[in-house]
């Protein structure tokens, strides 16, 4: 093994550090057009480019957002979009000191021979697409994957190496879904296995740990399990898993919300920041930052300001949770 030789090494470290900065986390709005359509349908809007643009404009032009948000993950369409006044979304983010990121995969398909598991398409051509995204202003990337463990772990490691060679800080996210009635101990076991595998392949692909960010699921009992875990239990289990598996060279751990309510996601993050951690432990939420915003907006221009306020309130709560200072 040697050290990764990429011309972007210093820049990657800087980008990762600035995303993992105190009191800030990531706003994930990288829903594919199909998933964004589901969000819009929940408030009775059609899934067309102009509605998606209006919704993304609401989120990305929220005044003061950069105080709590350090990075925003975009879908490809949004990376190339502008506001109705013709200002590039990427520039709106830069003005708030928010780093633009990009979801670089090409969607999930069934993995042949597996137990209904899926894997991610898009490694083919990823290097040239990454270079293009970087030119358009993206500085970090995301590639999700589900549980066909070995395939996913290898794919994540290949994606991470390609991203780093093209100037993008890869967010490494082996998503472990909340579905099921399993116990929190079972989740811990699975998470430990998955992260062991992921780091094994990251190392084989000479990925530079100082220039990646992780996006784990919190260690929780399955959504249909009879007993909910307290924030203290979630923090204890999740930190135990991270301490066993993640080297301190990794600058930031940016949790996904995974279908938890806004309050749950914030309380759990807050509990994890009650004592110092070797990494910046923060958020990269989609649903837990957008639920109230969507309900407040309802697709009406007169509600935009109120919806932006709702986003700021939720982002601030998580900013405080990142600092371990949130109280409900």
Q: Is 258 an interacting residue with respect to ligand 13P (CB under 6 A)?
A: yes
Q: Which two tokens stand for residue 301?
A: 């221009």
Q: Of 54, 147, 202, 256, which one interacts with ligand 13P (CB under 6 A)?
A: 256
Q: Which positions from 3 to 32 touch ligand 13P by CB under 6 A, shown as an x/- string?
A: -------------------------x-x--
- Site mask for ligand 13P (CB under 6 A), range 39-78, x = bound: ----------------------------------x-----
Residue 135 falls in the annotated catalytic set: no
Compute the half-sphere exposure of residue 78: CA atoms within 13 Å on the CB side of its CA.
32
Could you give the CA distance from residue 311 to residue 306 in angstroms, rounded to a whole number? 9
Member of 140, 143, 201, 285 binding ligand 13P (CB under 6 A): 285
Active site residue 173: yes
The residue (of 172 and 242) whose beta carbon lies closer to ligand 13P is 172
Structure tokens at 325: 């200072």
Near ligand 13P by CB under 6 A, which window of 37-45, 92-100, 157-165, 253-261? 253-261
Smallest gap from Cβ 241 to ligand 13P, in A, equals 18
> 25: exposed, middle or buried (C-beta count within 10 Å: 0-12, 13-18, 19+)?
buried
- Tell me how far apart the alpha carbons of residues 256 and 217 are, in angstroms, rounded to a whole number: 6
Burial category of 95 from C-beta neighbours within 10 Å (exposed 0-12, middle 13-18, buried 19 and up): exposed
With contact defined as beta carbons under 8 Å apart, do 277 and 25 qualify? no
Beta carbons of 279 and 253 less than 8 angstroms apart = yes
Q: Residue 304's Cα: distance from chain center in Å?
A: 24
Q: Could you say whether residue 140 binds ligand 13P (CB under 6 A)? A: no
Closest distance of CB 218 from ligand 13P, Å: 10
- Choose, from 31, 146, 215, 264, the residue flagged as catalytic: 215
Question: Given the rule CB under 6 A, which residues bind ligand 13P?
Answer: 28, 30, 73, 144, 256-258, 285-288
Q: Which residues are catalytic?
A: 173, 215
């Amino acid at each position: 093994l040697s050290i990764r030789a990429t011309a972007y090494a210093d820049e990657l470290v800087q980008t990762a550090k600035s995303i993992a900065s105190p009191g800030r986390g990531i706003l994930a709005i990288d829903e594919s057009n199909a998933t964004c359509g589901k969000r819009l349908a929940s408030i009775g809007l059609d899934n067309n480019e102009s509605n998606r643009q209006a919704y993304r404009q609401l989120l990305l032009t929220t005044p003061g957002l950069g105080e709590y948000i350090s990075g925003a993950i975009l879908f490809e369409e949004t990376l190339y979009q502008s506001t109705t006044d013709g200002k590039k979304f990427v520039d709106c983010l830069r003005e708030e000191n928010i780093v633009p990121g990009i979801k670089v995969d090409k969607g999930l398909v069934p993995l042949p021979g597996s137990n209904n598991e899926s894997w991610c398409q898009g490694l083919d051509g990823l290097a040239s697409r990454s270079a293009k995204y970087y030119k358009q202003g993206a500085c970090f990337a995301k590639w999700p994957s589900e549980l066909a463990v070995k395939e996913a772990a290898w794919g994540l490691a290949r994606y991470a190496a390609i991203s780093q060679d093209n100037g993008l800080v890869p967010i490494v996210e082996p998503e472990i879904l909340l579905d099921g009635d399993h116990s929190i101990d079972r989740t811990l076991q699975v998470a430990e296995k998955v992260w062991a595998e992921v780091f094994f392949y990251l190392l084989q692909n000479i990925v530079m740990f100082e220039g990646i960010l992780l996006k784990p699921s919190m260690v929780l009992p399955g959504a249909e399990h009879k007993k909910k875990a307290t924030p203290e239990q979630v923090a204890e289990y999740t930190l135990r898993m991270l301490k066993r598996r993640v080297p301190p060279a990794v600058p930031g751990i940016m949790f996904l919300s995974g279908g938890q309510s806004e309050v749950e996601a914030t309380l759990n993050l807050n509990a994890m920041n009650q004592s110092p951690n070797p990494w910046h432990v923060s958020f990269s939420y989609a649903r837990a930052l957008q639920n109230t915003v969507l309900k407040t907006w309802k697709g009406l221009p007169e509600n935009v300001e109120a919806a932006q306020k709702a986003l700021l309130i939720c982002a601030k709560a998580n900013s405080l949770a990142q600092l371990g200072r949130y109280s409900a």
